[in-house]
Amino acid sequence: MSRYMSLQGRVYLGKRDANGNPEGLRAIGNVSNLQINMSVDKLEHFESQSGQRLKDLELIRQKSATLSMTAEEWSPENIALGLYGTTVKVEGGTGVTGEQVGGTTLAVGERFSLAYPNVSDVVVADSTPGTPLELVEGVDYTVDKRYGAIQLLRAANDSAAPFVAPLVVAYMPGESTQFGLFTQPTPERFMRFEGVNTADNNAPVIVELYRATFDPVSNLSLITNELNTFELGGAVLADLTKPVDAVFGQFGKFVMV
């Protein structure tokens, strides 16, 4: 067995069942950095008889650990984990009618977002009582179908052909995946790292954490000149469903094969 270690490998996460076991593990894609930070809180005692205040006791009061990783794969599961969100899959195929956009005034160049992206069969009308005026694409407005947005080419008070705000839109949404922010409680996962020690002929290394809770993404970079990554981190908790074991404990284990 080599005295040196340089690890690479795959990170798997899984929800825990009632007995603390993973229900199923999912690879989260390429992880460029993975760290476990362990710490203890100590009570230090200093004697007060010799005149030198010598430390004569250290008592561990608390043991704790944290986890941090840099993930690169923007899968729906990873995004939902980092945003504390619920994954909503919009299948499309059900038409939307009567969606109102715009306020009391409609100016040239204003852009209005629809409730769904990836749209088709867009029809835009105004709010003229009785017989709404149907606007003409390319003359009165343009449609960004991929992003689901309408941009006005004419103002509502155009003297040549005025129209009445707000606009009323009908369209067909396509498939999309959406996430809410902060809609779920703190996620807790079983984590397993299956790695190889490249300093020892790719000898297998396994690390398991029984209970890892994740903080929300602290910095979601939306515009950057680099490859987008996001940091996942949180606390490693003791699994009290596991027996008190002097060998493996209740936090996890490190295995060299």
Cβ(211)–Cβ(238) below 8 Å: yes
- Spatial separation of the C-alpha atoms in residues 132 and 158, rounded to whole Å: 16
Contact 233, 66 (CB under 8 A): yes
pLDDT above 90 (res 126): yes
Question: Across the chain, what does the average pLDDT equal?
Answer: 93
CA distances from 52 to 43, 45, 48, 49, 197 (A): 19, 13, 8, 8, 48
Rounded Cα distance between 49 and 130, Å, is 97
8 Å CB contact between 233 and 69: yes
Q: Would you place residue 1 in the very low, low, confident or very high pLDDT band (cuts 50, 70, 90)?
A: low
* CA gap 202, 183 in Å, rounded: 41
- Residues of the chain with pLDDT > 70, as a percent, come to 99
Tell me how far apart the alpha carbons of residues 125 and 166 are, in angstroms, rounded to a whole number: 9
Confidence of residue 190 (pLDDT cuts 50, 70, 90): very high
Q: State pLDDT tens for residues 7-33.
A: 999 999 999 998 888 999 999 999 999
CATH class of the domain defined by 7-42+57-87+181-256: mainly beta
Q: What share of the chain is helix, strand, coil (3-state, %, to 5)?
A: 5, 45, 50
Sorted by where each begins, the domain ranges of the chain are 7-42+57-87+181-256, 92-174
What would the mean pLDDT of 191-212 be, rounded to a whole number? 96
How large is the average pLDDT for residues 242-250? 79
Residue 247 has pLDDT above 80, yes or no: no
